[in-house]
């Protein structure tokens, strides 16, 4: 597993994945404490955190099916949305493996009868999985992944 020490390194990894799978990619960068979503208490024009660092957040949208977007936070985690299913708290180092698993067809949906519910399951390196409850109905792509 590659270590992605910065938001920019994660964006570069996502650009490489987009190239590998011939996906369109759109990236928006928010740089500075007054611009990033988790630094809402920063004053106007305050660009650095109290420790002097310059926070960098990025939002990435990948074209194709399923729809995938990634919000990379300066704190080292990400929010990945797959066909409307939000997967919060994904470690930045796991973002490329997560997106590859989705586009290579390794992610699946499980369902249970009681209590009723469906989950998106995405395999990660080291025999780990990210499992996320699906609160909305299944999209066509999600329904095609039910096991």
Tokens of 16: 């490489």
CA-to-CA distance for 29 and 41, rounded, in angstroms? 19
Give the per-residue pLDDT at 3: 67
Strand duo 77-82 + 68-72: pairing: antiparallel
pLDDT at residue number 129 = 97
Number of domains comprising the chain: 1
Contact between 107 and 145 under an 8 Å Cβ cutoff? The reply is yes
> What's the pLDDT score for residue 93?
94
In a domain, 144, yes or no: no
Strand, helix or coil at 126? Answer: coil
Domain containing residue 72: 7-105
Residue 119 placed within a domain: no
> Which pLDDT does position 36 carry in this prediction?
57
- Which pTM does this prediction carry? 0.84
In a domain, 84, yes or no: yes
Indicate whether 71 belongs to any domain.
Answer: yes
| Distance separating alpha carbons of residues 56 and 93, to the nearest angstrom | 16
pLDDT for res 87: 97
User: What are the backbone angles phi and psi of residue 118, rounded to the nearest 5°?
Assistant: -125, 150
User: Does the residue 46 lie in any domain?
Assistant: yes
Chain CA centroid to CA 72, Å: 7
Domain-embedded: residue 50: yes
62 assigned to some structural domain: yes
Q: What is the mean pLDDT of each run of 10 residues along the chain (147 residues)?
A: 76 96 92 54 51 72 96 91 96 96 96 86 97 91 93
Asked if the structure places residue 26 within a domain, the reply is: yes
């Amino acid at each position: 597993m590659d270590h992605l020490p910065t938001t920019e390194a994660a964006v570069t990894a996502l650009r490489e994945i987009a190239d590998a799978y011939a996906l369109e990619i759109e990236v928006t960068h928010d740089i500075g404490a007054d611009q990033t979503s988790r630094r809402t208490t920063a004053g106007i024009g305050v660009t650095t955190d109290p420790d002097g660092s310059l926070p960098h957040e990025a939002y990435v949208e990948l074209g194709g099916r399923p729809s995938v977007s990634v919000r990379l936070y300066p704190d080292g985690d990400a929010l990945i949305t797959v066909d409307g299913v939000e997967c919060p708290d994904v470690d930045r180092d796991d973002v490329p493996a997560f997106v590859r698993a989705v586009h290579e067809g390794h992610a699946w949906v499980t369902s249970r009868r009681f209590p009723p519910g469906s989950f998106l399951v995405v395999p990660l390196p080291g025999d780990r999985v990210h499992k996320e409850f699906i609160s909305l109905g299944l999209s066509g792509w999600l329904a095609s992944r039910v096991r």
